[in-house]
Structure 1
């Protein structure tokens, strides 16, 4: 059975990136009843940051790892399996210091695995997590999709670069932005984001 991997990363209980990403995943599922949603809340269940043992272990074949080394990559292996099994990826994050939450960065560090999600060929790196569509939901107090602050939006370019590196090049973005510009602006931003999410879900 195909699946939608929903990744949320905001620590806020009232997170708009989480609520709109969740709604988007549910609407995509409604358009494709055979799919299931696998939700990984990276804020509620944070992943361990990678360390020396991890980086040494992933460079060895599985059969050559010690028990300690095998244990060090257990979480990473499960995350990679989860990603590869999914047909659709929905990522929710706020813009924090112009980039993604560290909880989401930890997930990326675990799934970017040579030999599993990418490999090096004669002409450079080749993504192995192909055939998937991804959606990014980015919430921010300011406006970063365009205008003078656009150059400070490192989150979407970074996520698109990482996803493209592992073979996911079909990526759509939903911005929930301008939330700090007062209640009226926030309401308009939320309505626009929900409309965009609904449009994308209908096309899924």
Structure 2
């Protein structure tokens, strides 16, 4: 039995979002293949996530020096610890996001900032940073309106590439991407394009639950 975090970063209703529809299809297939897995769903637009701001830096500095934190500093630092610990304790991760302005939504970046913490998800060594989450799996279920998998536009793809890179930085090496792209560029073919993305789901889900 695995502990899975299903993390979504899209404020739209599920039926109006290609990424959320694709993600729901994926996680339902996972449930079908591995019904004993425990799945925790996190809608990042409904989850309290603190910014790494002056209070947080001040609080971390005080902790390092054995000083007492203010109430606001303690609240934010505790919440970051809670989110990070939850992430570390999970076995597998499903990230669901659209591409916005060539990258990921800001709420997803905000979440990554709270979980990419030295000493918890990675550490510094004499040879450089080392990820601490080895042996875990992740999937990025992703939708983008244009075509970014080929041609000159490939160099402008900073969404899936960034997420996969930061996960590898934290030690997660088994990463898959299930991508639907080109729906806005070819609106008359949007549903057929989406159907082709759905066809990726069974194989990706089977590998995810292995």
Q: Report the TM-score when normalising by structure 1.
A: 0.91
Counterpart-to-counterpart distance in 2, 1:167 and 1:202: 22
Of 13, 20, 27, which aligns to 1:25?
27
Q: In 2 relative to 1, CA 110–203 (structure 1 residues): closer, same or farther, beyond 3 Å?
A: same
Q: In 2, Cα distance between the equivalents of 1:132 and 1:55?
A: 29
- C-alpha spacing 1:100/1:16, structure 2 compared with 1 (3 Å): same
Q: Partner residue of 1:180?
A: 184
Question: Mean alpha-carbon deviation: is it higher for 104-113 or for 47-56?
Answer: 47-56
State the match for 1:12 in structure 2: 12
Q: Which runs of 5+ in 1 are unaligned?
A: none
Instruction: Summarize the Cα distance change of 1:58–1:28 in structure 2 as closer, same or farther, 3 Å threshold.
Output: farther
Count of residues paired in the alignment: 204
CA–CA separation in structure 2 for the residues paired with 1:175 and 1:10: 15
Structure 1: distance between partners of 2:40 and 2:95: 12
Using the alignment, how far apart are the partners of 1:12 and 1:161 within structure 2? 26
- The match for 1:190 is 194
1:135 aligns with 139
Q: In the TM superposition, what is the alpha-carbon distance from 1:65 to its structure 2 partner?
A: 5.2
- For 1:101 and 1:2, locate their aligned partners in 2 and report how far apart those are by CA, in whole Å: 27
Gaps of 5+ in 2: none
Mapped pair 1:47 → 2:49: yes
How far is the alpha carbon of 1:17 from its aligned partner?
A: 1.1
Distance 1:166 1:37 in 2: 21
Q: CA deviation at 1:61?
A: 4.7
